[in-house]
């Protein structure tokens, strides 16, 4: 029997039905298309990811399936490695073309894409990849990048006509050969975590632009108020429930009626940073594994597992650090400043290498976006260059951004009875105060794991500044940069 000729739309981190160039191309093709998302076991077991991410993906897929069903369309969700999946499908069908977005991801997805590129070529299947947001593949330098970002944001959105799309029905033939059983833990309710889906993303964008942006600048650095004052769109951008262009264009259309033009402008500039950092990572993916500036390779050589565990679990004895860590473990979210403080505490005060810490926080951040994450992590760890070194004092951050200790009390219940003037330095409590407030230091709540943050500040600062000449190492890095750019083409 002759095989049916089909195309495939391969959804990755672009889980939406609007402003979607691959879906538009499929709708305009004369061949029927199979719409597919793959939960890839290798990615699910990768140390960057946690079940929280796959729940968000599952919620996003469910949202898409409901909308697709209104157009009598289906989405195939499989639990397969990419090559196994495409191999099996091409046994059954004459697979003509695969449409997807380019992905700037961790090394694992990059290697998978290289392998798939070869496989599609061998099988004479066209793989058409479309640019994601304003991130350009194979860019040799970033001169003029800002102007290109602006012009990309002004371009019309790619609107797929779903009524025109002729989709391949997910038949028994497919179900017989493809593993479609999705682990139940991906389908569980997520309590404190944000829920995935296009619908949720639009609700957040609208409430931010029409109401919440007036609190943006005042709340951005404080972990409690940031939960409602910031847009909270990051996981939706990471998993592609909304494109950056959709957000920019909506913000521009509603600029005149926004309650705070300043808030809206600050938000809009961060949408540019989003693409900027991913673009940097696209050209320098090696920063997943090594210092951006190799001149810092010989620092932080010693490891202390006990201190690392205390940081990971939020039991350092520094209330603001512990509250932030426990909150991100339970909710998947933390504002920018407090993410920076956690990294600063790990790398400057505990003087531990950043790499294991970056994996731990990648698993916690629901919005884990490799390009932003690795660039920011290294920036905060001071491994980019001395001009960017910021060493946060975790005690001062508490006084500045949680003056009454409300956020701390929410996440560190051991300190719930401690009054505001003692909550940021509970080790200063007398024996009697410890008894009165039900918190004995060293028993109910840990004693601080470092003696003096002023000393650890001095130590870190001295070593990092002594590396001032290390910028010359950047010259050597250029060769590595070019090699990666060439590979990604």
Ligand X SMILES: Cc1cc2nc3c(=O)[nH]c(=O)nc-3n(C[C@H](O)[C@H](O)[C@H](O)COP(=O)(O)OP(=O)(O)OC[C@H]3O[C@@H](n4cnc5c(N)ncnc54)[C@H](O)[C@@H]3O)c2cc1C
- Long-range Cβ contacts of 473-478 (<8 Å, 24+ apart): 473/293, 473/294, 473/295, 474/293, 474/385, 476/294, 477/292, 477/293, 477/294
d(CA 367, CA 351): 26
Q: Is 380 in the site for ligand X (CB under 6 A)?
A: yes
- Between 200 and 339, CB nearer to ligand X: 339
Contact 285, 107 (CB under 8 A): yes
Q: How many residues interact with ligand X (rule CB under 6 A)?
A: 27
| 292 DSSP assignment | S
What share of residues in the chain are helix, strand, coil (percent, to 5)? 55, 5, 35
Contact 269, 248 (CB under 8 A): no
- Between 359 and 395, CB nearer to ligand X: 359
Q: Which stretch binds ligand X (CB under 6 A): 108-116, 130-138, 184-192, 369-377?
A: 369-377
The nearest distance, CB 456 to ligand X, in angstroms, is 19
| 4 DSSP assignment | P
d(CA 130, CA 458): 48
Q: Is 14 in the site for ligand X (CB under 6 A)?
A: no
d(CA 218, CA 228): 11
Say how many Å lie between the first and final Cα of the chain, rounded. Answer: 38
Q: Which stretch binds ligand X (CB under 6 A): 32-40, 112-120, 304-312, 371-379?
A: 371-379
Q: Is 393 in the site for ligand X (CB under 6 A)?
A: no
Chain residues 289-348 in contact with ligand X, contact rule CB under 6 A: 335-336, 339-340, 343
Chain residues 274-293 in contact with ligand X, contact rule CB under 6 A: 274, 277
List the one residue from 56, 58, 368, 445 that touches ligand X (CB under 6 A). Answer: 368
Task: Supply φ then ψ for residue 130, to 5 degrees.
Answer: -110, 145
Q: What is the dihedral of CA 176, 178, 184, 188, to 10 degrees?
A: -120
Q: Which stretch binds ligand X (CB under 6 A): 107-115, 362-370, 439-447, 478-486?
A: 362-370
List the one residue from 52, 232, 245, 326 that touches ligand X (CB under 6 A). Answer: 232
Closest CA to 92 of 12, 169, 30: 169
* Coil/strand/helix, residue 136: coil
List the one residue from 64, 372, 384, 485 that touches ligand X (CB under 6 A). Answer: 372
The nearest distance, CB 378 to ligand X, in angstroms, is 9
Q: Is 231 in the site for ligand X (CB under 6 A)?
A: yes
The nearest distance, CB 144 to ligand X, in angstroms, is 20
Q: Is 132 in the site for ligand X (CB under 6 A)?
A: no
Q: Is 367 in the site for ligand X (CB under 6 A)?
A: yes
Q: Is 230 in the site for ligand X (CB under 6 A)?
A: yes
The nearest distance, CB 220 to ligand X, in angstroms, is 6
Q: Which stretch binds ligand X (CB under 6 A): 28-36, 147-155, 270-278, 447-455?
A: 270-278
Chain residues 239-268 in contact with ligand X, contact rule CB under 6 A: 267
Q: What is the dihedral of CA 401, 403, 406, 408, to 10 degrees?
A: 70
Which residues on neighbouring strands pair with residue 76, listed in sequence order? Answer: 36
Q: Which stretch binds ligand X (CB under 6 A): 251-259, 301-309, 370-378, 428-436?
A: 370-378
Q: Give the residue ranges of DSSP H helices in 126-196.
A: 145-154, 172-177
Please give the residue ranges that form the binding site for ligand X (CB under 6 A). 230-234, 237-238, 267, 270-271, 273-274, 277, 335-336, 339-340, 343, 365, 367-369, 372-373, 376-377, 380
């Amino acid at each position: 029997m002759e095989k049916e000729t089909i195309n495939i739309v391969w959804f990755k981190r672009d889980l939406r039905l609007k402003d979607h160039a691959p879906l538009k191309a499929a709708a305009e093709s004369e061949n029927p298309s199979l719409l597919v998302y793959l939960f890839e076991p290798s990615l699910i077991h990768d140390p960057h990811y946690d079940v929280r991410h796959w729940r968000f993906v599952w919620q996003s897929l469910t949202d898409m399936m409901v909308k697709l069903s209104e157009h009598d369309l289906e989405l195939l969700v499989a639990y397969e490695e990419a090559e196994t999946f495409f191999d099996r499908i091409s046994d059954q069908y004459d697979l003509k073309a695969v449409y997807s977005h380019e992905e700037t991801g961790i090394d694992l997805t990059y290697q998978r894409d290289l392998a798939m590129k070869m496989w599609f070529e061998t099988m004479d299947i066209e793989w058409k990849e479309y640019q994601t947001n304003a991130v350009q593949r194979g860019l040799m330098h970033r001169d003029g990048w800002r102007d290109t970002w602006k012009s990309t944001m002004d371009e019309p959105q790619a609107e797929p006509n779903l009524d025109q799309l002729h989709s391949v029905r997910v038949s028994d033939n497919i179900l017989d050969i493809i593993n479609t059983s999705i682990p139940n833990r991906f389908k569980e309710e997520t309590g404190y975590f944000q829920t995935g889906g296009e619908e949720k993303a639009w609700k957040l964008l609208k409430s931010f632009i029409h109401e919440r942006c007036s609190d943006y600048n005042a709340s951005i650095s404080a972990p409690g108020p940031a939960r409602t004052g910031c847009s909270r769109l990051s996981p939706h951008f990471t998993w592609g429930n909304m494109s950056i262009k959709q957000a920019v264009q909506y913000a521009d259309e509603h600029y005149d009626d926004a309650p705070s033009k300043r808030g809206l402008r600050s938000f809009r500039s961060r949408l540019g940073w989003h693409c900027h950092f991913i673009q940097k990572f696209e050209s320098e993916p090696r920063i997943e594994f090594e210092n951006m500036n190799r001149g810092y390779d010989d620092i932080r050589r010693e490891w202390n597992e006990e201190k690392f565990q205390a940081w990971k679990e939020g039991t350092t004895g520094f209330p603001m650090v512990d509250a932030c860590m426990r909150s991100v473990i339970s909710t998947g979210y933390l504002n920018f400043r407090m993410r920076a403080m956690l990294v600063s505490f790990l790398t400057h005060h505990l003087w531990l290498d950043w790499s294991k810490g970056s994996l731990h926080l990648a698993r916690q951040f629901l919005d884990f976006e490799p390009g932003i994450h690795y660039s920011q992590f290294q920036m905060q760890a001071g491994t980019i260059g001395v001009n960017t070194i910021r060493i946060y004092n975790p005690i001062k951050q508490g006084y500045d951004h949680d003056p009454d200790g409300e956020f701390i009390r929410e996440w560190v219940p051991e300190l719930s009875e401690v009054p505001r003037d003692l909550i940021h330095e509970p080790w200063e409590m007398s024996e009697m105060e410890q008894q009165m407030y039900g918190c004995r230091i060293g028993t109910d709540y840990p004693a601080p794991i470092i003696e003096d943050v002023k000393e650890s500040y001095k130590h870190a600062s001295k070593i990092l500044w002594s590396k001032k000449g290390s910028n010359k190492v950047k010259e050597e890095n250029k060769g590595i940069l070019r090699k990666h750019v060439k590979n990604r083409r």
